[in-house]
Structures are given as structure tokens and as C-alpha cells.
A and B are shown apart, each in its own frame.
Chain A
């Protein structure tokens, strides 16, 4: 099904009998009873699997001189040591910046150098310490600030934009902000580590793994191993979180496949927690300069957002200025992204790449502008609303944009009017209390997505798609979609996900998954409805409800219409150019109240709230779950998450969960999430948009702004740790 004209007409989804309502997760009972197996637990799929343990590079850059595996091979239970010398020829997949197996060149610290395969996990891990690798070590570059001046304009993408005369307009502006903000490297820190069981049957490879994007995984594995795509099967029905860290097959999958090929039996590999931060991808650190010029009425005349980040050679930038291209008005504007070479592992997407850290800077700068204007921060954002893409002009309106409503509703619900705009005025015992806010903004991306939907003779509906559920609630919203479309209750739908034998889907990433994959199910269901109606002899006006197809006073049950062998169709949604004609994005507002300990500078978030507009909310319960989780991640970005590079060695030092801090329950207060009513007819026939990443975008800036309001200390270097607070207080 092509989707190239807005869905202005009512469609079956608009009934909202099942969709648009809160439902518990249909996979919830399996999850809480431990019967939803994660990749490393799927022993039944590959009995007799051997265990692999990855030996990571001890250096950041350089060359392997020699690998001595003799002691490891002689250790108890060891079957094989796989290295670049015996792995066979490998290619680099298009989604990989560095190779999944080093040799002879080393591209980053903890890059896989070898896989030790043994009968048991403990034997493999023990023998891994016996693999002796000699290196010639290069001099790593690990400090973004030191490399900033060497950063270049990256190839590909759209690193720069410019409209009007920024420099001139900024110079003439009545009120100006010109500040630089920095954000550190972040690690995805998902609960389930990367893990894979690999098994070969002849030249056919099966991977039971944990991956967000099954179709990409198949392609990248085939490229890496230089085998035909059709020889690779990837299966990933349950995923313990990803946040972008599992958008691609990583070394666990590649090394498990190589190990299994070498020993002629299945091999399972997981990354230990301390390996994840340096072996896999991370969100790159940024330096961001914001210049905003406004009139005394607060209207922005000039806005510039320049971003510096680093990556391995051949990598890509953190596109932190993207939000600034669309969020606020202003005739004179420019954005740029510059990329330095750093030897710190692969920088790549993490939940809301671009916006998540871009808004940490932009929305802090807006707070500073509001203060200079002596204007309420909410009002400043309202007067700078735009209903069209400010770089393209009125020819490219937003598909739907409820930023102003989100700001107003969010402010009301939070009690924003009680905020004292003067910092440091509110005390509660030892706490200085402050409020802050920020706009929420995240692109709405649509991706083609396929599904196979069938009805059996009993009327049971089965949906199969390689779409993934990374803890987001995908199983449930797909079941809701199919139930709505086919006129059956939620219990009448079986959903099967994550298997590359199913039709290729949008996958989970960039908050495109829910809207795109349910639109794919919608497309398949429309085709199925047509076929079933025809089989049962109905015209196009037949309705699907209560398990029956009805037209006039004749009804046929779904099962009967499907026939003795059932009816199965495959279709997909293919998105046209509506995202070019219309700017598509999701909007919201974040509000935070924090306490700052007057003595210690410790920051504790007291409450958070926000209002969000993201098209039709397919399941308010799971959507709320996404938003509060993202807000918690915003707390982490604001207050503690910081993967610290040691430039001497070129690696992240604090590479475990004891030292890389993410928020714990005690850090997360009451969170109020309100969804505005919105249908976006230009986004998809679901009239939905993404929501999984919107909640992190702006959340951290709201907290930073609240910290300033509480104690009068403006910290532009994230995270806002207590040492920076007391330095400002002194």
C-alpha cells in the first residue's frame, strides 16, 4: 500500500474500539514469569552450544604484531581460538565504522581481537586471559576539545544549513545569547547485554540474537561474512532494551558466527557489562555553540547552532543542531556540524540521536535568553512558534504541530505560574528549590514496513512481521491494530515478531517503529479484508466487527470467510513524499522542579511533568511508559551520565555500572505525562507519530534550567554534578 496522500477520510482505525486505549502488554505475563527467553537463554534452539568469550584489544589504535594462543588452546575445555589469522576473509558492513574483528590493525580499545571457544562459559573466560597479544601502539586521540580545531565538514548528510544573513542580523539584535555548552559521551546501558547464539547448517547461518533491526542485521551479517543474504536467518523475539545500541549486529553476533563455523557446532557469545562501553557504540560527546539574537519582544531574528563531535575515522557526527533547524522561527539562521577523528570506539545513535543532546544546549540557551529579556520562558517559546519549516518557508508547513498547546497545558498542569523567576529565592529546609522548563521536539520519521496477516478457520488472526519489541510494547500495539482492523478482540490476535523469515519491517529505532510498523499491519489487514470480503461474496461496504463480516443483514464469521485452510496475505506500507512536502515532528513540553542542597550541591529532582503531542497515541499506557522512561534518561543526561575518556589510553575509563551512573529509583520522582489529542493524517494511515524518543528531548534541559532557578548557578557543562554546583556557589 502506497501512502502518498493524507489520510483525511475515516478509516477502520478511527473506530478506536481497541486502538487508542490503554491495554496491558500482551507479553507481560511471559516477561514476569521468566518464560520470554532472551537471546542468551535460548538453549533449546541450539542444544550442545559451546561458549565463546571475546578477547578485547588492550590498545586504542595500532597494530597487532602477534597473537599467541598456545596456552589458551591447551587450557581445559578450549576448542578453538578465532582470530583474524584464521577467521577467513571478512568484509566491513555498511552500518559498521570499525571492523567487528580487529587485525592486523586495531581501530579501538576492546575491539574484538579473538574469540575463545570452550565447552563452558568459565573455561572460555579463563582461557581468554591466556591469549597473548603483542601490539605496536599508536598515539590515541581521546579528547574532543583538543581535537576540535582539526574537525572537518563531514561527507554525506546535510551538515550545514544557512538562511538569510545570520551574522548581520545577530549583530543588530537587541538581546543576544552567545554561549557554548558541552555534553559528554553516553553509553546505552540497556539491561540485556548484547548476546547471540549462532548455528550453521551447511552454509546456512541462524542467529538467535538481541537486535532492533532484523533486516539490517541480515544484510550486515551477509556482507561481513561475504555470504548470500538468503543464507542468513536472524531471530530476535524478545529484547531487553536497546536504545540504539542494538541497531546493528555487533561483535557478539559476528564472533559467534565465526566461532560456530570454526568448531562446527553452535556457539553462544555475550558481552560482559564492562566490555559494552568500549566494544560497542556510544553516543558521542559534543561541543555546541549557540547564538540567539532576539528583539525586545522576544522574537528571534537570528539563530545559529554549531556542533563539534568526534568519531573513528570514517564515522559520522552527532547531529545535535537538527532540532534547531525546525523548532523556532527566525529569518536569519545557520547550523553546522563538524567532525573530529577520535580513537574512542564507535560513536553512533543513542535514543533520540541529535535532538537529545541538541536540546540540552538549545533549550538551556533559550532559558538564558528569557532571563536576558526578562520574559517568562514559556512565553518566549510561544512567541517563537512557527507553523512551517523556518528554513524552507511557508511552502513546507508542519503536518501537525501543537507545541504552543503543549507548553500551555504543561505549564498549567505543573503549576508553572507559581515559579519565582528570580533564582535562589525559594527554600525548603536545606534545599534551594527551583523550577525549569524546556520544549520537547523530535523528528517524526516513517519507514516502509511489511507484515503478513492471516485468519484461520476458527477466526484467529495471526500477524507476522520482523518488527521488534525492545521493551516498548510493540507486541501489544500490533495486536491492537490487527484487532481493530479485523473486528476481533485483542485476545483474538497472535503476534509473532523479530524473525527474518517474516516480512521486513521498519524495525525499532528513531521512534519510527510504532507508527511505521502498525501502518504496515494496517496495509496487510486492508488487503486481507478485501480478500475475505470477496471470498464471502460481499461488496466493498462490508464491515468487520465482533468476529464477523457484515453487509446489510447478512453476516459471515471471519473463520468461515477464511475457509478451511485459512487466508493469509502479505503487504507493506510504502511511504511517499509526504515527509518532504510536510515537516513532520513531535512536540511537547517538559517541566521540572529540583532541590539543590545548599551545603553539598547535591541535586535531587522533586517532580517532573510534561504534555506531549505525537499524533494518535496507540496505547496510552505503553506510550506513557515510553515517555517516563525517556524522562528518566533525561535525568541521567542532566545529572550523572558521563562516560569519561582517558585521552592517554583512548578508552572510556568508567566502563561498568558501578562507575557509569544511570538514575536509580531514588532519583526519579513523580512524573506527570499528559498526551494532547492529535491525529496526523500526513504521517500514516494510523494518524500516529513516534513517541518513544520525544520524552528524552528537552527533559535534561528542563532540569538544568530548574537548577539555575534554584541556586543561580548556570552550568553549561553536562552533567550537572555537585562539584560544578558548589564551584558556582562559592
Chain B
């Protein structure tokens, strides 16, 4: 870990101003990902801005009947929130399927959205990684890629986004709320928040320099059968091999987001439109253009098989 300086922000606007003033700074919230990365010198911030004490730890109803989740709401608290459990069950289920109880007690809503990939080459500073060190190459391509992305990949990067929560947020059409140093708010649809790797896999979100996440809003509840299905070899404490977040309506319509398959929570409108045609049609549309490696090609049929089971479960 490199030496760093530390400050505690006293407002969201001040936090944004502090990071705008120091390009080598990082926000620190739960620290469940950042501290590990700092110890390995994958992240080397010279300055940490502690945003834990800004009062952004509340879950509130919004005027339009939706919900606003403060950026610092802990995963445990969000999963246990009664309204979330009743009206956004897919989110609660996604949250409790992730990490461990101890980690969820610390991990925050915004931090979860911003967690870095678990690609093993990203984690090893002796190996090339365009995400960690732009231009150095991608060791994962042609390497151990079983857990990595099958769609939306580039010849620069095949990393996945590891979050469960974000997959549920994606299916719920969440919006990320930010503030900049001037105090101006911006609302970023979650579809536009995470990026595909392209030629700049080091740039993972659409956040601008000096922008600070204050919360996530959810539209008013959409009802339906809400399912989060996470597939993994180990029963707990494992990142998703693949995961499916879905909301299926009695009229046969539905929406689908997939985790463990891409650099961002994966959702395709054309796939949603085929909900009434069943799992195979949805999976085919969602994974048209998939470009897996030999080691992770199984994920594509796995998604289809799992989705079929999810449809069956929803009808049961």
C-alpha cells in the first residue's frame, strides 16, 4: 500500500469538489474492494476522501412512488428494507446472494456499482492488463477465462462486472444520481452508467471527473414475479458464473438482465420484447453476437437452461 492522505468530506458537494481538485484521489466508503486493491497496488490513490458521514445512508420513498437509496446505504440494510423486500424483491434477493454477511455489512450501494472486475489477471500486477495498465495487453484472452465475459467483449478486455446488485438495478431501470463540484445534479440511467470495454477498458463508467454518486433511485414498483437466480459451483460466497434478474408479468411480458456475462449488467430490449415467446427466444435475442472463449462458451447454453428454469419457477 502506498502512503496516502485522508480527509473526511462534510457534504456531497464538498466531496465532489475535493475529488475534482485532486485527480489522484479516490472516495472511500465501505472499503471492501478498494482497500484490497490498494494493498496490491492495483489502485494507488494518493488521497482518500471519506464519504461515510454525509447522511447518505437513508432509504426513502420518492414523490412519484418510487424509492431513493442513499449512496452509502449498506448492502445488508438495503436487502432487509421492508419496502425493498416487498416491492423490489429482485433487488433484495440479488443483494443477499452476494459476498458474505460481513462484507454486506460494510459494502455500500454506490461502492457496489463501482466495484472492479475479479478477472485474475487484473489482480496480478506481473501480468499485462489493459484495464489496470492501458496498452499493456490482455492476458485473459488466450488464458484462464472460464469466469469471464461472453458478450460485449473487445480484443482489449473480456472482464466481467462482478456485482449481483447492479444486475437487479438494471432490470428495475434504476437511475444513478450524482452531484458535481458546482452542486449540479445529474441523473444517469443505469443502462448508460456502466460501459463496455471497447478500446478503453480502464474507463468503466460514464461518471465525469469530479462527479460524486449521492444515490440510486428506483421507479415506482412494477409488481410481477421477481426472481434473481445466481448460478455457481460453490453454494455461497462466490461470484456468479451467470446470474439472471427478471420481472415477469402475468400478461407474459417481462424483462431480463444478466450478470457474470459482460463488462456491465447485460440487458437487451429485443430480448425483453420476446418474453412471451419463452426462454429460448429471450436467450437467443439477449446473446445474439456472443463471442465467448473456448473456456466460457458453456455460459451461453447455461443462460438458456437457467432461464427456462426461471420461467418454470415463475409459473409454479
Listed in ascending order, the chain A residues whose CB lies under 8 Å from chain B are 58, 76, 122, 125-126, 129, 274, 430, 597-604, 639-640, 644, 646, 648-649, 653-656, 658-659, 661, 663-667, 719, 721-723, 726-727, 730
Query: In chain B, residues 115-168, which have Cβ atoms closer than 8 Å to a Cβ of chain A?
Result: 118, 120-121, 123-124, 126-127, 139, 142-144, 146-147
Asked if B234 is at the interface (CB within 8 A of a chain A CB), the reply is yes
Please state if A600 and B302 are interface contacts (CB–CB under 8 Å).
yes
Query: Which residues of A sit under 8 angstroms from B301, Cβ to Cβ?
Result: 726, 730
| CB-based nearest A residue for B303 | A600
Q: List 17 A-B contacts (CB under 8 A).
A: A122-B1, A126-B3, A430-B309, A600-B306, A603-B233, A640-B234, A646-B144, A648-B143, A649-B127, A653-B120, A655-B120, A658-B239, A663-B234, A667-B236, A722-B233, A723-B146, A726-B298
| Tally of contacts, chain A with chain B, CB under 8 A | 91
Q: Report the minimal beta-carbon distance from B242 to chain A, rounded to whole angstroms.
A: 9
**Contacts A602-B231, A723-B298; is A658 near B118 (CB within 8 Å)?**
yes
Q: How far is the CA of A461 from the CA of B25 in the complex (A)?
A: 62
Query: Which residues of A sit under 8 angstroms from B298, Cβ to Cβ?
Result: 723, 726-727
**Contacts A126-B2, A722-B233; is A644 near B306 (CB within 8 Å)?**
no
Q: Report the minimal beta-carbon distance from A349 to chain B, rounded to whole angstroms.
A: 26
Please state if A722 and B302 are interface contacts (CB–CB under 8 Å).
yes
Please state if B120 and A659 are interface contacts (CB–CB under 8 Å).
yes
Asked if B241 is at the interface (CB within 8 A of a chain A CB), the reply is yes
Query: Which residues of A sit under 8 angstroms from B238, Cβ to Cβ?
Result: 661
Interface centre among B2, B123, B235 (most CB of A within 10 A): B235
Asked if B232 is at the interface (CB within 8 A of a chain A CB), the reply is yes
Please state if A723 and B302 are interface contacts (CB–CB under 8 Å).
yes
Q: Which secondary structure dominates where chain B touches chain A? A: loop
Q: Report the minimal beta-carbon distance from B1 to chain A, rounded to whole angstroms.
A: 6
Closest 10 pairs between A and B when the two form their complex, measured CB to CB: A599-B309, A666-B235, A666-B236, A723-B298, A58-B126, A653-B144, A599-B305, A600-B231, A653-B120, A667-B235
Query: Which residues of B sit under 8 angstroms from A598, Cβ to Cβ?
Result: 309
Query: Which residues of B sit under 8 angstroms from A653, Cβ to Cβ?
Result: 120-121, 124, 143-144
| CB-based nearest A residue for B234 | A661
Please state if A722 and B234 are interface contacts (CB–CB under 8 Å).
no
Query: Which residues of A sit under 8 angstroms from B235, Cβ to Cβ?
Result: 604, 664, 666-667
| CB-based nearest A residue for B40 | A274
Please state if A726 and B142 are interface contacts (CB–CB under 8 Å).
no
Q: Report the minimal beta-carbon distance from A547 to chain B, rounded to whole angstroms.
A: 48
Please state if A654 and B144 are interface contacts (CB–CB under 8 Å).
yes
- Partner among B142, B236, B305 whose Cβ is within 8 Å of the Cβ of A664: B236
Query: Which residues of B sit under 8 angstroms from A599, Cβ to Cβ?
Result: 305-306, 308-309
Q: How far is the CA of A723 from the CA of B241 in the complex (A)?
A: 10
**Contact size range, B:** 35 or more
Q: How far is the CA of A649 from the CA of B129 in the complex (A)?
A: 14
Query: Which residues of B sit under 8 angstroms from A644, Cβ to Cβ?
Result: 144, 146
Query: Which residues of B sit under 8 angstroms from A656, Cβ to Cβ?
Result: 123
Asked if B41 is at the interface (CB within 8 A of a chain A CB), the reply is yes
**Contacts A274-B40, A600-B305; is A654 near B120 (CB within 8 Å)?**
yes
| CB-based nearest B residue for A123 | B3
Q: How far is the CA of A653 from the CA of B295 in the complex (A)?
A: 14
Asked if B86 is at the interface (CB within 8 A of a chain A CB), the reply is no
Using A125-B39, A664-B236 as known contacts, list a sample of 20 further A-B pairs with CB atoms less than 8 Å apart, ordered by residue number in A: A58-B126, A430-B309, A599-B305, A639-B233, A640-B234, A644-B144, A644-B146, A646-B144, A653-B124, A653-B143, A654-B144, A658-B239, A661-B234, A661-B238, A663-B234, A664-B237, A665-B236, A722-B241, A723-B302, A726-B302
Q: How far is the CA of A666 from the CA of B97 in the complex (A)?
A: 12
Q: Report the minimal beta-carbon distance from A660 to chain B, rounded to whole angstroms.
A: 10
- Partner among B3, B142, B231, B302 whose Cβ is within 8 Å of the Cβ of A648: B142
Q: How far is the CA of A656 from the CA of B306 in the complex (A)?
A: 28
Please state if B236 and A646 are interface contacts (CB–CB under 8 Å).
no
Query: Which residues of B sit under 8 angstroms from A646, Cβ to Cβ?
Result: 139, 143-144
Please state if A129 and B41 are interface contacts (CB–CB under 8 Å).
yes
Q: How far is the CA of A597 from the CA of B313 in the complex (A)?
A: 13
Query: Which residues of A sit under 8 angstroms from B305, Cβ to Cβ?
Result: 599-601, 726
Please state if A667 and B234 are interface contacts (CB–CB under 8 Å).
yes
Q: How far is the CA of A122 from the CA of B298 in the complex (A)?
A: 42
Per-position 1/0 for B161-201, Cβ under 8 A of A: 00000000000000000000000000000000000000000
Q: Report the minimal beta-carbon distance from A131 to chain B, rounded to whole angstroms.
A: 13
Per-position 1/0 for B283-316, Cβ under 8 A of A: 0000000000000001001100110110000000
Q: Report the minimal beta-carbon distance from B243 to chain A, rounded to whole angstroms.
A: 11
Query: Which residues of B sit under 8 angstroms from A654, Cβ to Cβ?
Result: 120, 144
Q: How far is the CA of A125 from the CA of B3 in the complex (A)?
A: 11
Query: Which residues of B sit under 8 angstroms from A719, Cβ to Cβ?
Result: 233
| CB-based nearest A residue for B309 | A599
Q: How far is the CA of A666 from the CA of B238 in the complex (A)?
A: 11
Please state if A640 and B233 are interface contacts (CB–CB under 8 Å).
yes
Q: How far is the CA of A603 from the CA of B234 in the complex (A)?
A: 9
Query: Which residues of B sit under 8 angstroms from A723, Cβ to Cβ?
Result: 146, 298, 302
Query: Which residues of B sit under 8 angstroms from A129, Cβ to Cβ?
Result: 41
Query: Which residues of B sit under 8 angstroms from A661, Cβ to Cβ?
Result: 233-234, 238
Please state if B232 and A602 are interface contacts (CB–CB under 8 Å).
yes
Q: How far is the CA of A659 from the CA of B2 in the complex (A)?
A: 25
| CB-based nearest B residue for A430 | B309
Q: How far is the CA of A730 from the CA of B301 in the complex (A)?
A: 9
Q: How far is the CA of A190 from the CA of B132 in the complex (A)?
A: 30
| CB-based nearest B residue for A667 | B235
Query: Which residues of A sit under 8 angstroms from B241, Cβ to Cβ?
Result: 722
Q: Report the minimal beta-carbon distance from A110 to chain B, rounded to whole angstroms.
A: 9
Interface centre among A430, A646, A726 (most CB of B within 10 A): A646
Please state if B1 and A125 are interface contacts (CB–CB under 8 Å).
yes
Q: How far is the CA of A709 from the CA of B246 in the complex (A)?
A: 33
| CB-based nearest B residue for A110 | B126
Q: How far is the CA of A45 from the CA of B61 in the complex (A)?
A: 58
Query: Which residues of B sit under 8 angstroms from A649, Cβ to Cβ?
Result: 127, 139
| CB-based nearest B residue for A657 | B237
**Contacts A126-B2, A656-B123; is A600 near B309 (CB within 8 Å)?**
yes
| CB-based nearest B residue for A429 | B316
Q: How far is the CA of A597 from the CA of B302 in the complex (A)?
A: 12
Query: Which residues of B sit under 8 angstroms from A597, Cβ to Cβ?
Result: 309
Q: Report the minimal beta-carbon distance from B291 to chain A, rounded to whole angstroms.
A: 18
Query: Which residues of B sit under 8 angstroms from A58, Cβ to Cβ?
Result: 126
Q: How far is the CA of A58 from the CA of B128 in the complex (A)?
A: 12
Q: Report the minimal beta-carbon distance from A118 to chain B, rounded to whole angstroms.
A: 12
Query: Which residues of B sit under 8 angstroms from A125, Cβ to Cβ?
Result: 1, 39
- Partner among B41, B139, B233 whose Cβ is within 8 Å of the Cβ of A602: B233
Interface centre among B3, B118, B126, B239 (most CB of A within 10 A): B126
Q: Report the minimal beta-carbon distance from B192 to chain A, rounded to whole angstroms.
A: 29
Q: Report the minimal beta-carbon distance from B306 to chain A, rounded to whole angstroms.
A: 5
Q: How far is the CA of A658 from the CA of B124 in the complex (A)?
A: 13
Q: How far is the CA of A496 from the CA of B236 in the complex (A)?
A: 39
Q: Report the minimal beta-carbon distance from B175 to chain A, rounded to whole angstroms.
A: 30
| CB-based nearest B residue for A59 | B126
| CB-based nearest A residue for B41 | A129
Query: Which residues of B sit under 8 angstroms from A726, Cβ to Cβ?
Result: 298, 301-302, 305
Query: Which residues of B sit under 8 angstroms from A727, Cβ to Cβ?
Result: 298
| CB-based nearest B residue for A719 | B233
Q: Report the minimal beta-carbon distance from B270 to chain A, rounded to whole angstroms.
A: 23
Query: In chain B, residues 243-265, which have Cβ atoms closer than 8 Å to a Cβ of chain A?
Result: none
Query: Which residues of B sit under 8 angstroms from A604, Cβ to Cβ?
Result: 235
Q: Report the minimal beta-carbon distance from B51 to chain A, rounded to whole angstroms.
A: 23
Q: How far is the CA of A721 from the CA of B233 in the complex (A)?
A: 6
Query: Which residues of A sit under 8 angstroms from B118, Cβ to Cβ?
Result: 658-659
Q: Report the minimal beta-carbon distance from A726 to chain B, rounded to whole angstroms.
A: 6
Interface centre among A76, A654, A661, A723 (most CB of B within 10 A): A723
| CB-based nearest A residue for B231 | A600
Q: How far is the CA of A656 from the CA of B126 in the complex (A)?
A: 15
Q: How far is the CA of A630 from the CA of B156 in the complex (A)?
A: 43
Q: How far is the CA of A639 from the CA of B238 in the complex (A)?
A: 14
Query: Which residues of A sit under 8 angstroms from B39, Cβ to Cβ?
Result: 125
Q: How far is the CA of A76 from the CA of B212 in the complex (A)?
A: 33
Q: Report the minimal beta-carbon distance from B205 to chain A, rounded to whole angstroms.
A: 22
